[in-house]
Amino acid sequence: MRKISILTLITSLFVSSFVVANEVNVFNARHYKADGELYSKFTNMTGIKVNLINGKSGALEKRIISEGADSSADLYITADAGRCGSMDAKGTLQGGLTSAAIKSAVPKNFRTSKWVGIAKRARIIYYSPERVTGAELSGMTYEGLADPKWKGRLVIRKSSNIYNKSLVASLIKNNGKAATVAWAEGVVANMARTPTGNDRAQIMAVAAGEADIAVANTYYLALMLSGKKGPEQQAAAKKVKAFFPNQNDRGTHMNVSCAALVKGAPNKANAIKLVEFLLTPESQEHFTNNTFEFPMIDGVSPSPLVVNNLGLDFKQDMKTKLASYGKNQAAAVEVMTAAGWK
């Protein structure tokens, strides 16, 4: 009797996963509250239920790959084009994100047929206006981070971080691997400390006087200025200014949060609908006001906090295809490790 009841219990545990429903399954590595709000809105509008499995990108990717053709995943949403690119390279994605709505919304270099950018960010330089002069910064580029004049003045996070991998991948794409090796060595020589902490910690290191310049993504400063991180960090953010590098050549390094269509997606049509929904002006506005990213589409303005404090009028790198971040990722890791970038 007991055995039967245990068996029933165990059986009942997984029966639910076989029920067919109007849904879309999202493997989600972006965990902003704002995203959740958008998914609920999508469900209310279309009746399509959004099932989420939240996790770190590595583990989610492994699960999608292991599940193979039987994977329940429809969309993989993550915060770096390098990740979408490497999933594509592993043959786990399929084409299909090619509807007119998507193509007209997203510029060509920010999408492929298998994945598209849903929100933009730039990886830029933050500096202390007290300790860095305008002359020092004039014409500053990513390449210039290796200049010996920054010795002991630079902070940037670890080489294992995906944003750094993608930045270095873009440098390899533009300058070649040999030049990038020399560059990485220069950067390591300039570091004010062994890399530690997240992007926000780099900005705070400049505010606190541990370093003069930092490399970090755009939305972090806005996040601190918003007061969502408390009054101390709000005050700290005001001690730091943003600088957009490479304005005189290819433009500032851009990256995206991307949505990728998984091979064998059981709800492909719904997945495409969700991506289109995320690219509507309403959704884009919701992103920009809550996560402080740049909008993917034209006609939507970034959050006033971003516009007023970071500026809007900068040249974006529209030349380097984001697909190259995934392709050059292994080389980027090799370059940074060889340079002793922790």
Contact positions vs another protein (CB under 8 A): 6, 10, 13-14, 17-18, 25, 30-33, 51-56, 58-59, 61-63, 66-68, 70, 72, 90, 158, 160, 194, 196-201, 204-205, 207-210, 220, 228-230, 232-233, 235-236, 330, 333-334, 337-338
CB 327 to another protein: min, Å: 14
Tokens for 320?
Answer: 């380097």
CB 71 to another protein: min, Å: 8
- Rounded to whole angstroms, the Cα distance separating 205 from 30 reads 25
Angle between helix 177-190 and 329-338 (nearest 10): 50
- Is-contact 256 117, C-beta < 8 A? yes
Q: What is the DSSP letter of 146?
A: G
Task: Report the Cα 263 to chain-centroid distance in Å.
Answer: 22
CB 248 to another protein: min, Å: 32
CB 323 to another protein: min, Å: 19
Cβ closest to another protein, residue 54 vs residue 133 = 54
Cβ closest to another protein, residue 195 vs residue 251 = 195
CB 258 to another protein: min, Å: 16
Tokens for 161?
Answer: 């971080």
Please name the residue ranges forming H helices in 160-198. Answer: 162-175, 177-190
Cβ closest to another protein, residue 87 vs residue 259 = 87
CB 300 to another protein: min, Å: 23
Q: Is 299 left (phi over 0), alpha (psi -120 to 50) or beta?
A: left
Cβ closest to another protein, residue 67 vs residue 147 = 67
Cβ closest to another protein, residue 122 vs residue 155 = 155
Cβ closest to another protein, residue 199 vs residue 317 = 199
Handedness of CA 336, 331, 316, 106 (dihedral sign): negative
Pairing mode of beta strands 75-78, 23-28:
parallel
Cβ closest to another protein, residue 101 vs residue 201 = 201
CB 145 to another protein: min, Å: 21
CB 309 to another protein: min, Å: 17
| C-alpha distance from residue 198 to each of 2, 24, 59, 216 (Å) | 52, 32, 20, 9
Cβ closest to another protein, residue 24 vs residue 297 = 24
Which of 216, 201, 193 shows the shortest CA–CA distance to 125? Answer: 216
- Is-contact 194 159, C-beta < 8 A? no
Handedness of CA 285, 219, 79, 102 (dihedral sign): positive
